[in-house]
Amino acid sequence: MSSLLRSPLASLADTPAATGALRAGSLTLSDLSLQRRSGLRGSDVPDWLAQQGLPRVDTPNRIEAAGEQQWVMALSKREFWMLDGNQMALEERPASEAVAPNAWPLYCQHSHVWWHLSGDDRAALMAKLCGVDLSETAFPLGHVAQTQMARISVIVAHHEWQGVAGFSLFLDQTLAAYAWSALEDAMQEFEAC
């Protein structure tokens, strides 16, 4: 029987990060790291996704809804992540065998945190930490950016979570404490907004 994973922020006891949520002004940063996500890489993944009844996302750096609180994110023409906000993640690793002749599993559940940043000032906040313009006009819903935030590689996906537009942030779990701290520090400016 599998046990549930722990959030990388769980080790930050007695800090606001331990609660898994921060609020400042209109901004909310939530830790979704315990929600299920998986990935596949290979040339046959788009066909496999379509056979599973999932969206075939043919354009890299896009995210499309695959159901209620579920998405398919294309990071390239050969790499896709499936995000499921309805299911809790389990500690077990996915199978290592190909799901199709050229479709191999990725271990994004165990390598990346999943955070969600919402609020009217989310693009302004990210402008403090990231060199990419994430304003609504430059970065509309459904777009994905692979960039850096506070000198950390990050994937930013612009989509709705529970009916609210925001950014899902995916970054290396080993850098979670530093990244959360950087976001928390940047959010302080928006406290009075």
Give pLDDT tens digits for 97-156.
Answer: 888 899 999 988 888 999 999 999 999 999 999 999 999 999 999 999 999 999 999 999
Q: Which CATH superfamily is domain 12-190 in?
A: Probable tRNA modification gtpase trme; domain 1 (3.30.1360.120)
Which residue type, as a one-letter code, is found at position 149?
A: M
What pLDDT, on the 0 to 100 scale, is given for residue 176?
A: 93
Domain boundaries, the chain: 12-190
User: Both tokens of residue 55?
Assistant: 């969206």
Percent of the chain at pLDDT exceeding 90: 72
What pLDDT, on the 0 to 100 scale, is given for residue 13?
A: 59
39, 80 Cβ separation under 8 angstroms: yes
What pLDDT, on the 0 to 100 scale, is given for residue 109?
A: 86
| Dihedral sign of CA atoms 180, 183, 187, 189 in order | positive
Percent of the chain at pLDDT exceeding 70: 91
A 10 A CB-CB count for 49 gives: 21
pLDDT 10s digits, 55-83: 999 999 999 999 999 999 999 999 999 99
